[in-house]
Amino acid sequence: MSRFQVYINSEHYQYLVDLVHQYNYERFVCLMGNVEQVGRKKSIVIGEMQVFEDNDYDGLHTALCKPKRTVIEQMMQRLQKKRYSVYIEYHTHPFNFPCFSSTDREDEKRMWEYFHDKFPNKYYGNFVLDIAGRGEAVIRDWHDGNLKTFEPIAY
């Protein structure tokens, strides 16, 4: 699997890391950006971050929080309006679990199918951190739907 590099403003990246410690339930953040040339390779540069508020969820739980469908649709509209080519969902694991659960993987796959149906030429990805700041980051290639890892880089 190839490794993408995803550049995130250092203040935004620190916010993502700190968010794990601010709540005892999952939180979601939408990261939007574009594929750009960085040096000799194409990378993803995040241009905008939208933090989901308490009322943006169907329920707040330590795990298995679900953002409301209307909120996701608003993010999709913003993606299209701003002409971003990348949508990455970040969520916290407010416990010591630095990887995607089987539920996360199923949700990610369903969301990618929905996303790809609406935006067949854009990237969709997922990023998770636990309380130690460790985690996983994956993006699905819009060409073939295969999972690729990505490395988040604070700049």
**110 and 145 Cβ atoms separated by less than 8 Å:** no
Higher pLDDT, 71 or 96: 71
Domains of the chain, each with CATH number or no CATH: 3-154 (3.40.140.10)
SS (H, E, C) 108-140: HHHHHHHHHHHCCCCEEEEEEECCCCCEEEEEE
Predicted local distance difference test score (pLDDT) of residue 1: 44
User: What are the phi and psi torsion angles at 58 (to 5°)?
Assistant: -70, -25
pLDDT tens track for 133-146: 888 898 876 667 77
Predicted local distance difference test score (pLDDT) of residue 7: 95
pLDDT tens track for 81-130: 999 999 999 999 888 888 888 888 888 888 888 888 988 888 999 999 88
